[in-house]
Chain A
Amino acid sequence: MEGSSVEINYLKRFAKWSLILVSLSAILLFSMSVATAIGPMSIPFDRALKIILHQIPLLDNFITVQWEGIEESVIVQLRLPRVLAAIIVGVALSIAGVAFQCLFRNPMADPYVLGVASGAGFGAASAMVLRLGFSILGAVYAIPLMASIGAISTVFLVYGIAKTGTELPVLRLLLAGIAVSSFFSALISVMMALAGEDLHAVYMWLLGGFSLSKWEYIYIAAPTVIIGFIILYAFARDFNIILLGEEQAKQLGVEVEKVKKTVLIISSIITAVAVSISGIIGFIGLIVPHIMRILVGPDHRILLPSSALAGASILVLCDTVARNIIRPLTLPTGIITTMLGCPFFIYLLKKTGKIRI
């Protein structure tokens, strides 16, 4: 009798997972409405929700338009791109964090361990200070482009240093990441020393934020992150097994080297995309995986999607705080994520007593 109940409990977990994802999606929708409703021009929360839903094809037929045109343009033109950018960055950093912590089997790992942040920072700072590509693309496109070039080339540099023959030992990756990251941080400082009147812009970029968000960014970043998520999710069961160690994973039929290379490249690309549209947002990629592991358990089949949704909601809410807390000024969102994230993380650490990967 006991036996059958164990099996039923096991199979029930799949239904439980669906429930978790539905709830988190609802929370995300709620966060989006809050974020779009609050601002210098206050729009009622339910109206904001309806305007957002109205933008979705097929769904728009069921919603009757009961708002003014100005409200719709504030939400759609001004606030929604910023919220969507926050969602994309939240998803990207959270799932990259999950993937890095798993592959490195290290709870300290975050999406920036391979030097993506400083590479992107150097790219962006060079663009701003040296006006690289400004004449052709304009600042709005030149900066993210240079940031992503910086990020991707850093990742390949780190891989090149860490690789031994056909293998990619994680410890070498970690150390190469630290070394290259420090080097680019120094170069960022050089750029800042040369910056002159651009210093403020460079500094704000490094702190991370969504002030420059445009619909065009979303069109490029969203598909990249969605495809990245699908690829990572395809490896969810492999992730669980890799936690046991690479040798055991090999013996259980996981193509460890292949998985490692694919996952590291994909995670680095989505991190690079995130950094290039938002600058360096700290802490999300580190704490969201830990919070979700405590809440939903270590199985990556639920950990990955729930971290994606939770990361998105948290970043949207943090950005709302950043926009409104000292209006009319807007704080860099990276400051808020760190200021709110740290105490919450410390609370969790104290309460659960242990942090596992």
Chain B
Amino acid sequence: MVVLKVCGVDCYYGSVKVLEGVSFSVNSGELVGLLGPNGSGKTTLLRAISRTLKPKVGTVLLNEADIFSMKSSDVAKNLAVVPQSSNLEFDFTALDLVLMGRHPHMRRFEREDQTDLEIAKEAMMLTNTWHLAEKPINELSGGERQLVMIARALAQKPKVLLLDEPTSHLDINNQIGIMDLLKKICVEKGIATLAVFHDFNLAARYCDLAMLLHKGKIFAIGKVDEILTEENIRKVFNVEVMVRRHSTTNSLYIVPISQLQEIKPSKNLKIHIICGGGTGSPLIKLLYRNGYYITAGVLNLLDSDYEECRTLGIPTISEAPFSPITKENHERNLSMIDQADIVILSNVCFGNGNLKNLDAVLYAVEKGKKVIVVDETPIQQRDFTKGKAEELYTKLKNGSTIIVKNCYDVPSVLKILENEK
């Protein structure tokens, strides 16, 4: 059952547009994680839904009624908000604070009665804070306060619960405790819950749906596994992450790899690197940082050199995992060599699958390209083709190539070549 429906909401702060065309709906019992970079409009969206900020365009429907035409106490009976942080420097007790959640249900001059107390008690039992009832709120720890704030929200008996970063500033134990609690609230009470998270893993582990907000617009919304993909996260957060499925929890886990820093190639030399099995990574990083324009090929998907190239955004010719190089990809590799000024062969091992890469280097020599061969390990130890590779490699070494004993020597060789040019 849809309890919260947001239709085409545009919000402004002054003349600055913060939300644009936001539409989605939440069913009762669903836990929706709202993710997005700082300034993407997450908090603004919560404010619009909680009737704190009036959208310029669009409506927010709570049980099919427009919240801005409802009385604020009627909204508060159905929708509760747990704020990111609050000023709690006064002498109210935790129970006083939770009973404030009964305010929308009470008439003027009315005092809390047995029923209100029972509702508050139930909420505090559920959040495991009843033992703190008579403690002044300013003496509670951060985690306890957050739980009391959730209890207050529950005392409102809402159908929709909004939380702004409920786990920020909390230790790992409290984070898990709060997430378990939220899940329980959704499932047992059928409350539709929309929460802002910064932690992908908590969101992935607990949420039913995820919503990615990017520059004030919904970038993607749907099942967690469909939304929290490497590609979406790269586009929205500008970070490279690895998304894997955990073998024991069977939920996604997301590990950041590195921040995408765009280094613009500053040097004129175009370099094509032939590598694989991680032998190219140090070289690729080194040359990338020095501002060379780099291409690479042919690499198998899942190869660590391939991952490195992808992270740095280097044009790469790729082959399916553990498959031999096809004719098409070999030819694409050759055309990349055509465009390069220098070709580097890393200290890579050869099998029948990548033997064509050696042909490609020979092609480069034939074409008169400068070729640098990194020869750290004797070819005999790297040859898994019963001599075929050794034969080609020897031919290569005898041709007009530059041999270096260590990949870290390459930059100085490049400098000499650069000056020659």
What residues of chain A have their CB less than 8 Å away from a CB belonging to chain B?
2-3, 6-7, 9-11, 14, 105, 233-234, 237-238, 240-241, 243-245, 247-248, 250-255, 293, 297-299, 301, 356-357
Contact = CB atoms under 8 A, between A and B. Distances in A.
Interface in B70-127: 71-77, 79-81, 83, 86-92, 95-96, 100-101, 103-104, 106, 108-109, 111-112, 114, 117, 121
A298 B90 contact: yes
A243 B117 CA distance: 21
B55 to A, nearest CB: 15
Nearest to A293: B91
Contacts of A11: 114, 117
Nearest to B116: A10
Given A9-B134, A252-B104, A254-B103, A245 B87 contact: yes
Contact of B121 (A3, A14, A298, A301): A3
Nearest to A234: B108
A252 to B, nearest CB: 5
Given A252-B76, A253-B72, 13 more contacts: A6-B95, A6-B121, A6-B130, A7-B114, A234-B108, A241-B103, A244-B100, A248-B83, A248-B86, A252-B100, A253-B76, A254-B72, A356-B90
B294 to A, nearest CB: 51
Nearest to B81: A251
A247 B95 contact: no
Contact of A245 (B51, B79, B86, B100): B86
Contacts of A250: 50-52, 72
Contacts of A240: 92, 96, 100
A6 B92 contact: no
Contacts, number: 86
B68 to A, nearest CB: 12
Nearest to A235: B108
B379 interface: no
25 contacts: A2-B131, A6-B95, A6-B134, A7-B121, A11-B114, A11-B117, A14-B111, A233-B109, A237-B106, A241-B100, A244-B87, A245-B87, A247-B47, A247-B83, A250-B50, A251-B79, A251-B83, A252-B101, A252-B156, A253-B77, A254-B72, A298-B90, A298-B92, A299-B96, A357-B90
Contacts of B134: 6, 9
Given A6-B133, A7-B117, A251 B80 contact: yes
Contact of B50 (A2, A3, A251, A297): A251
A252 B155 CA distance: 11
A253 B75 contact: yes
A241 B96 CA distance: 10
A7 B114 CA distance: 8
A16 to B, nearest CB: 13
Contacts of A293: 91
Which of A6, A233, A293 has the most chain B CB atoms inside 10 A of its CB? A6
A237 B108 CA distance: 8
B86 A244 contact: yes
A253 B72 CA distance: 5
A166 B90 CA distance: 30
Contacts of A241: 100, 103
The 3 lowest CB-CB distance pairs between A and B, nearest first, are: A253-B76, A253-B104, A253-B73
Contact of A255 (B72, B106, B109, B114): B72
Contacts of B109: 233-234
Contacts of B71: 253
A243 B86 CA distance: 10
A2 B76 CA distance: 31
Contacts of B79: 251
Interface string B161-188: 0000000000000000000000000000
Contacts of A357: 90
A299 B103 CA distance: 14
Contacts of A3: 121, 130
Contacts of A244: 86-88, 100
Contacts of A7: 114, 117, 121
B139 to A, nearest CB: 12
Contacts of B92: 240, 298-299
A251 B161 CA distance: 11
B128 to A, nearest CB: 13
A7 B88 CA distance: 23
Given A6-B133, A234-B108, A244-B86, A251 B76 contact: yes
Interface string B237-256: 00000000000000000000
Which of A3, A238, A251 has the most chain B CB atoms inside 10 A of its CB? A251
Nearest to B111: A14
Contacts of B90: 243, 298, 356-357
A299 B114 CA distance: 19
Contacts of B114: 7, 11
A248 B104 CA distance: 13
Which of A11, A252, A298 has the most chain B CB atoms inside 10 A of its CB? A252
A21 to B, nearest CB: 14
Nearest to B80: A251
Nearest to A297: B91
A54 B52 CA distance: 55
Interface string B50-62: 1110000000000
A112 to B, nearest CB: 24
B52 A251 contact: yes
Nearest to B162: A251
Contacts of B96: 240, 299
A299 B112 CA distance: 13
Interface string B138-158: 000000000000000000100
Contacts of A298: 90-92
Given A9-B134, A241-B103, A251-B50, A356 B86 contact: no
B121 to A, nearest CB: 6
A233 B110 CA distance: 12
Contacts of A233: 109
A254 B96 CA distance: 16
A238 B52 CA distance: 17
Contacts of B81: 248, 251
A241 B52 CA distance: 15
A244 B72 CA distance: 17
A71 to B, nearest CB: 42
A293 B90 CA distance: 10
A356 B121 contact: no
B80 A356 contact: no
B405 to A, nearest CB: 67
A38 B91 CA distance: 40
Contacts of B112: 10
Interface string B33-48: 0000000000000010
Contacts of A252: 76, 100-101, 103-104, 156
Contacts of A299: 92, 96
